[in-house]
Structure 1
Amino acid sequence: MTLLPSRSDLDAAAAIVYGAMPATPQFSWPLLNEALGTEAWVKHENHTATGAFKVRGGLVYLDGLARREPGVSGIISATRGNHGQSLAFAARRHGVRATIVVPHGNSAEKNAAMRSLGAQLLEYGDDFQASREYALSLARKQGLHMVPSCHPDLVAGVASYWMELFHAQPELDTVFVPIGQGSGFCAAVAAREALGLRTRVIGVVSSHATAYMDSFRSGELQEAPATTDLADGMACRTPDAGSLEVVRRYADDVVAVSDEEVARAIRLYYRATHNLAEGAGAAALAAATRMKHDPRVAGCKVGLPLTGANVDAEKIMRVLSEVLP
């Protein structure tokens, strides 16, 4: 099963997405351009109905599921937050029961958001992978539909934001894409290929969760500890095999950014644009800042998805209170 949808698939997915939410804006912020020394365009996925890009994929997946399995009794999945909000948001629109498994110590405010959308929330395990394995076992026991973290429908939905950005700015030289389980990266590639563009696509992982980068560089799937405190949306211990294949085939590069670099990017976003970003949401900017003198950034037009803003108040206040160098 290929994860890269066709142009007709992308158009159909976009129609589903826009039945529930409007397109998000993209802006080029002068202070951000000054900090990077080049022209950057920020795609504001922090402005979606759930505050993150994932909602687009959930809408398309649940629409397809309703047609494939009209009698489905309920869905279940594992998440650190944004994927779960996406599924809960879409499941409520279809009148389907949603059960979401999160690891212990997950973001309290993301948990509250999922519950507010009608999801039954269960806590299990110390990381995403443990939560996912538990969700799979519950799916078998309770006859629930297990929603994967990466699927062609999820990719097609998420690709709608990349189509918006590429239509608005078709001359982007390089885009940076945070990698959690890979739907965002696959979506960027799908949109680029559908439009016949030559834009470089650089994946971004946390330096405290390097499984995708290690697998990209070694040529084979590798696990790595996921210990990031700030970028929980990229806390992947085991790559998805399908999305890893896309990363290995299409990525211009995969780079890692530390929690400290992500924190600086969060502060820069706030001071330059007055937008809040969660850890993974600021990862693209963190990578572009690290590579500002690299020829793939310097003098280029760069695309930066601000993929989400769902971060606990206590954590964001702590990050913002630190002095920006």
Structure 2
Amino acid sequence: MFDLTALRLAATTVYQSMSPTPQLAWPLLAEQLGCTVWVKHENHNPTGAFKVRGGMLYVQGLLSREPQTKGLVTATRGNHGQSLALAARRHGLTISIVVPEGNSLEKNAAMRALGATVIEHGKDFDEARSHAATLAVDHQLHLVPAFHPDLIRGVATYALELLEAVADLHTVYVPIGMGSGICGLIQARDLLGLNTEIVGVVSEHADAFAQSVEQGRVVCTASAHTFADGLACRQPLPESLEIIAKGAARVIRVSDREIAYAMRLYHETTHNTAEGAGAAALAGLIKEQSQQQGRRVAVILSGANIDRRMYAAILDEDMSPNWPK
């Protein structure tokens, strides 16, 4: 996919637009979970999510290959779209972004504020993605995919930062949407010659990747209804599945209730905001905490972009001592 030199070059490009994000070991998380917990704070990025790294690298690479490009189109639930909107604005390109109907109002507003034209279409990401492809043909726009080597190499720079900053990590938990984040992490680990196990985390309500890994083939689900919209994939891509199946120790499922608990725990122990997908990795660690006692573990807080009303309602729920059931 890419070598270590290419990854370090990607980091140089990314750092023209942002600083490296911190990885912090939080004492209260360690106290609650019985292991050292390093949090990779991708919520501290310019768009509040890890995707910005890939967007910057992708658009720069596109313009070097196709300098005549004037306009982009893509589909998103929000973070991928914000990353591309920021990159498009910096390079003077137009961009249309298709989101499913009922998408996050605040993510939509953020994309519009970055200069994007936001189009609502379809019941979920996959229908939005199909409409984006149609718009690309009809209006001669460049269609930006959800998964591409430059997107992976860009987001893999977060993994390079984490794995070079924190030695002897036993396990890293990472959310899976379309797969760029976990694939970048797997590649960075392999390039550094580490034995760290990587555990992918999906929603039990959007578990197409988990089913696909278990069955050794692409399995599509009829729906992907989870409030953690960054996990809402029902049609895995074969190329990302191949990397995950080969490089991840396992892919585990968490419930929306478990994700909401992890969001509250982040707030209580670190005072950081996590969106649903951003908290999924911590939910995965909590689910497997008996397996990680005394170990050095990292979780990827991949994003913080959640609508205020939803976040307030989640924080207001009772953190029952009987959780989880």
- What is the TM-score with the length of structure 1 in the denominator? 0.97
What does the per-residue CA deviation read over 1:247-272, in whole Å, with 9 as the maximum and x for residues that have no partner?
Answer: 11111000011100000000000000
Q: Is the 8 A contact 2:57 2:154 kept in 1?
A: yes
In the aligned structure 2, how far is the partner of 1:95 from the partner of 1:78?
20
The residue aligned with 2:58 is 61
Which digits, 9 at most, give the CA deviation of each residue in 1:9-62, with x for residues without a partner?
A: 101110110000000011111111111110010000000000000000000000
- Residue 210 of structure 1 is matched in structure 2 by 207
Structure 1 counterpart of 2:156: 159
Gaps of 5+ in 2: 321-325
Tell me which of 118, 121, 127 is aligned to 2:118: 121
Distance 2:176 2:2 in 1: 19
Q: Distance in 1 between matches of 2:200 and 2:222?
A: 18
1:278 maps to 275
Structure 1 counterpart of 2:184: 187
Q: 1:162 deviation in Å?
A: 0.6
Q: CA deviation at 1:107?
A: 0.2
CA distance in 1, matches of 2:240, 2:232: 15
Q: Do 1:221 and 1:241's aligned partners in 2 also have CA atoms closer than 8 Å?
A: yes
Aligned residues: 320
In 1, Cα distance between equivalents of 2:85 and 2:127: 21
Q: 2:258 aligned with 1:233, yes or no?
A: no
Give the Cα–Cα distance (whole angstroms) in 2 for the partners of residues 10 and 259 of structure 1. 34
| Contact 1:5–1:155 under 8 Å retained in 2 | no
Aligned counterparts of 2:234 and 2:225: Cα–Cα separation in 1: 11
Alpha-carbon contact 2:96-2:119 (below 8 Å) kept: yes
* Aligned match for 2:300, one of 288, 299, 305: 305
Q: Distance in 1 between the 2:248 and 2:222 partners?
A: 22
| SS of equivalent to 1:118 | coil
Matched, 1:318 2:306: no
Contact persistence 1:14–1:160 (CA under 8 A) = yes
Q: Are 2:96 and 2:117, in contact at CA under 8 Å, matched by a contact in 1? A: yes
What SS class does the counterpart of residue 153 from structure 2 fall into? helix
Partner of 1:244: 241
- Tell me if structure 2 keeps the 8 A contact 1:102–1:124: yes
Which residue of the partner structure matches residue 94 of structure 2? Answer: 97
The partner residue of 1:27 within 24, 38, 43 is: 24
Partner SS for 1:275: coil
Tell me whether 44-53 or 6-15 shows the greater mean CA deviation.
Answer: 6-15
Quote the Cα distance in structure 2 between the aligned partners of 1:231 and 1:256.
13
SS in 1 for 2:290: coil
* Contact 1:79-1:102 within 8 A present in 2 as well: yes
Q: Distance in 2 between matches of 1:58 and 1:225?
A: 29
- Aligned-partner SS, 1:293: helix
Partner of 1:11: 8
1:169 to 145, 166, 169: 166
Question: In the alignment, is the contact (CA less than 8 A) between 1:224 and 1:238 conserved in 2?
Answer: yes
Q: Does 1:147 align with 2:119?
A: no
The answer to whether residue 260 in structure 2 is matched with residue 263 in structure 1 is yes
Per the alignment, do residues 107 and 36 of structure 1 end up closer, same or farther by CA in structure 2, a change over 3 Å counting? same
* Distance in 1 separating the partners of 2:307 and 2:254: 21
Query: Identity of aligned pairs, percent?
Result: 52
TM-score using structure 2 length: 0.97
Contact 1:210 1:226 in 2 (8 A): no
Q: Which amino acid aligns with 1:212?
A: F
Map Cα deviations across residues 147-186 of structure 1 (whole Å, 9 max, x no partner).
Answer: 1101110011101111000011121110011000000011
Letter in 2 for 1:222: V
- Between the aligned partners of 1:227 and 1:56, the Cα distance in structure 2 is 26
> Aligned equivalents of 1:128 and 1:19: distance in 2?
31
Single out whichever of 123-132 and 299-308 deviates more from structure 2. 299-308
